[in-house]
């Protein structure tokens, strides 16, 4: 994240703009020198996220950018995050701004400051490493959060927001990077570097080691590529942890479809983002120590590309996965589930209290839910409940799809334990049922982020391009994790 945040007790005069929150009713801030009628006259009604730049109050004084916050009683952290994003977008041409926006949530200076940092930090993020002309980058790199109180809560909220927004920016940068610039090897190197900086243990597994470990899924998907695969294991091991979580991320560096080649359609340029799950998991891990997360968290990043060649896996081939189950390949484009299978098997071996995987897994999930929410499929109602709670706090929406056991037969194979695809119908569900074969009895949930992995335009805290969707949700999940008490939901029992 390029934006630097700091706190101050009163508005500094050196900034070039001041973001002034204005509610839709009640008195307007003193000192603006305008009335509500004046503002209505220029079309500013202080609706949530509406902005209006006033001329500066005098030479050398900051420009005042009014931002509507709607009705204060309706405002929560999610609303404020989106408002802060709009305010940031209105100030991209200023180098530095100050704002009291973090203080508008009554009695919640901490949550307010965090929401403002997240909203502004994410709205101002761009990935321009390969552009010679950096004009599209926001000039705004300094934000001062002004708080009337002692400032401890504001500072704590800001620090947390800097960590979470920084994590999201890391994952977005990785997912936006072109596929030949970010190979599995390079992502593994990056993960090791991030681990060193953020207090994680990292272990990288190469192809020979993956073969020795019986990880036939990732090795099989990698067979067509000149670039070797990598699996990265990251561990956050806080002293005295009483709960354990495993995260598994799909890291397909580029998904061509393999022998089942995707059509040569420009939309497949976004298949460089098929490692968004792994990027979100790495980003999540990077935040845990700084946020003093007490849960022990182990992550597996499953990294390879999916390419056709003379050595690629073929339709009809059978792979043996880490847990011993055999899979007949009916479509090499259903590769994500194959690499996740090994990661989930490894994760289940350690018998964690819960396991999550996150993956740009199916176009079917995107068709069902669109681009603003992820699918969640789970064998445990308690895990889903915690995911929904995190989702509500982070504004990364999820919708549950059923792991309907009757559809397991769609994956039946003549020669192996299962096939890797279930036919044209219910594709998000059959993918989930496939993954379930590798989690044993572990309480588990699968997040399908094929839809929200990429945004078409700037919208609130989302920016055009890779979204790093799920990063803040998983951070929140780990930070608030409790052992799920609910048993595997009976309606979803294996047949
Ligand atoms: N990475 C794709 C899914 C995807 C599609 C992600 C669009 C983001 C946007 C995945 O590997 C894939 O190709 N899935 C196939 C599965 C099918 C062959 C059963 C799909 O969804 O078409
Ligand atoms: Mn695919
Ligand atoms: Zn894929």
- What does the pLDDT read at residue 236? 98
Residue 418: beta bridge partners?
327
pLDDT mean across residues, the chain: 96
Burial level of 404, CB count in 10 A (0-12/13-18/19+)? middle
In our burial notation (b when 16+ CB lie closer than 10 A, e otherwise), range 135-164 reads eebbebebbbbbbeeebebbbebbbbbbbb
pLDDT digits (tens, 9 = 90+) for 434-448: 999 999 999 999 999
Assess whether pLDDT exceeds 50 at residue 495.
Answer: no
Q: Please, which pLDDT band fits residue 488 given cuts at 50, 70 and 90?
A: low
If you average pLDDT over residues 273-295, what whole number do you get?
Answer: 98
Share of the chain above pLDDT 90, in %: 92
Report the nearest atom of ligand 1 relative to the CA of 453. Answer: 8
Q: Ligand 1 pocket test: which of 362, 448, 467 has the largest number of ligand atoms within 8 Å of its C-beta?
A: 362
Write out the DSSP string of 393-425. Answer: HHT-EEEE----GGGGGGG--SSSSEES---SS
Q: What is the pLDDT of residues 161-187, one digit of tens each?
A: 999 999 999 999 999 999 999 999 999
Coil, strand, or helix at residue 345? Answer: helix
Is the whole-model pTM more than 0.85? yes
| Residue 439 Cα distances to 94, 113, 355, 445, angstroms | 51, 39, 8, 10
Annotated active-site residue 337? The verdict is: yes
| pLDDT at residue 489, as a whole number | 58
Atom 14, ligand 1: which residue's CA is nearest? 362
Q: How far apart are CA 378 and CA 350, in angstroms?
A: 19
* Whole-angstrom distance, CA of residue 356 vs CA of residue 378: 9
The confidence band for 148, taking pLDDT boundaries of 50, 70 and 90, is confident
Residue nearest to atom 9 of ligand 1 (CA): 450
Which of 268, 366, 263, 260 lies closest to 317, judged by CA? 260
- 378/135: higher pLDDT: 378
pLDDT computed for residue 487 by the predictor: 63
| 16 touches 63 (CB < 8 A) | yes
Q: Is the CB of residue 97 less than 8 Å from the CB of residue 117?
A: no
* pLDDT for position 424: 96
Res. 493 pLDDT band, cuts 50 70 90: very low
Instruction: Phi first, then psi: give them for residue 446, nearest 5 degrees.
Output: -115, 125
Counting ligand 1 atoms within 8 A of each CB, the residue from 263, 361, 366 with the most, and so the one to mutate, is 361
Note the pLDDT of residue 55: 81
| Neighbouring residues of 471: CB distance < 8 A, sequence distance ≥ 6 | 164, 167, 168, 171, 280, 283, 284
pLDDT of residue 11: 87
9 touches 146 (CB < 8 A): yes
**Residue bearing the bigger pLDDT, 494 or 81:** 81
> In this model, does residue 135 exceed pLDDT 90?
no
244: helix, strand or coil? strand
429 alpha carbon, closest ligand:
1
Q: How confident is the model at residue 494 (pLDDT cuts 50, 70, 90)?
A: very low
Q: Which domains does the chain have, with CATH numbers?
A: 4-148 (3.40.220.10), 169-492 (3.40.630.10)
User: Which residues does ligand 1 sit against, CB inside 6 Å?
Assistant: 255, 274, 331, 333-336, 360-364, 366, 421, 427, 450, 453
322 as an active site residue: the answer is: no
453 CA to middle of ligand 1, Å? 12
- pLDDT for 375 equals 98
Q: How confident is the model at residue 363 (pLDDT cuts 50, 70, 90)?
A: very high
**C-alpha 390 to ligand 2 mean position (Å):** 28
pLDDT in tens, 8-59: 999 888 899 999 999 999 999 988 999 999 999 999 999 999 999 998 778 8
């Amino acid at each position: 994240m390029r934006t630097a945040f700091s706190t101050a007790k009163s508005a500094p005069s050196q900034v070039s703009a001041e973001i002034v929150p204005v509610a839709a009713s009640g008195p307007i801030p003193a000192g603006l020198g305008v009335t509500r009628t004046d503002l209505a006259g220029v079309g500013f009604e202080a609706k949530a996220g509406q902005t209006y730049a006033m001329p500066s109050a005098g030479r050398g004084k900051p420009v005042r950018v009014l931002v509507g916050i709607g009705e204060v009683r309706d405002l929560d952290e999610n609303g404020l995050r989106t408002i802060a994003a709009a305010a940031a977008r209105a100030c991209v041409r200023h180098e530095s701004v100050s704002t009291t926006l973090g203080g508008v949530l009554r009695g919640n200076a901490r949550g307010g400051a965090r929401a403002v940092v997240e909203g502004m930090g994410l709205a101002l993020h761009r990935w321009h490493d390969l552009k010679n002309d950096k004009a599209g980058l926001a000039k705004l790199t300094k934000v001062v959060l002004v708080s009337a109180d002692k400032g401890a809560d504001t500072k704590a909220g800001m620090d947390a927001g800097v960590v979470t927004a920084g994590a999201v920016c890391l994952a977005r940068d990785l997912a936006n990077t072109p596929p030949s610039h970010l190979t599995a090897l390079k992502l593994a190197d990056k993960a090791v570097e991030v681990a060193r900086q953020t207090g994680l243990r990292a272990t990288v597994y190469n192809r020979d080691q993956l073969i020795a470990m019986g990880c036939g899924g990732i090795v099989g998907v990698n067979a067509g590529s000149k670039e070797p695969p990598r699996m990265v294991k990251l561990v956050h091991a806080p002293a005295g942890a009483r709960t354990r979580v495993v995260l598994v991320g799909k890291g397909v560096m580029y998904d061509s479809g393999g022998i089942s080649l995707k059509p040569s359609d420009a939309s497949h340029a976004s298949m460089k983002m098929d490692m968004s799950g792994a990027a979100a998991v790495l980003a999540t891990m990077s935040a845990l120590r700084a946020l003093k997360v007490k849960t022990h968290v182990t992550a597996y990043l499953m990294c390879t590309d999916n390419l056709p060649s003379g050595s690629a896996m073929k339709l009809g081939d059978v792979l043996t996965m880490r847990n011993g189950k055999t899979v007949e390949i009916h479509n090499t484009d259903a590769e994500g589930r194959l690499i996740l299978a090994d990661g989930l098997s490894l994760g289940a071996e350690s018998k964690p209290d819960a396991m999550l995987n996150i993956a740009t897994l199916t176009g079917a999930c995107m068709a069902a839910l669109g681009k603003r929410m992820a699918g969640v499929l789970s064998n445990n109602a308690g895990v889903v409940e915690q995911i929904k709670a995190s989702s509500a706090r982070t504004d990364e929406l999820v919708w549950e799809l059923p792991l309907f056991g009757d559809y397991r037969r769609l994956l039946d194979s003549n020669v192996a334990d299962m096939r890797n695809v279930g036919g044209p119908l219910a594709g998000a569900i059959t993918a989930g049922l496939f993954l379930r074969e590798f989690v044993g009895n572990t309480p588990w949930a699968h997040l399908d982020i094929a839809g929200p992995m990429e945004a078409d335009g700037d919208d609130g805290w989302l920016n055009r391009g890779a979204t790093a969707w799920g990063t803040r949700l998983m951070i929140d999940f780990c930070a608030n994790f409790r052992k799920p008490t609910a048993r595997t939901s009976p309606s979803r029992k294996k047949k």
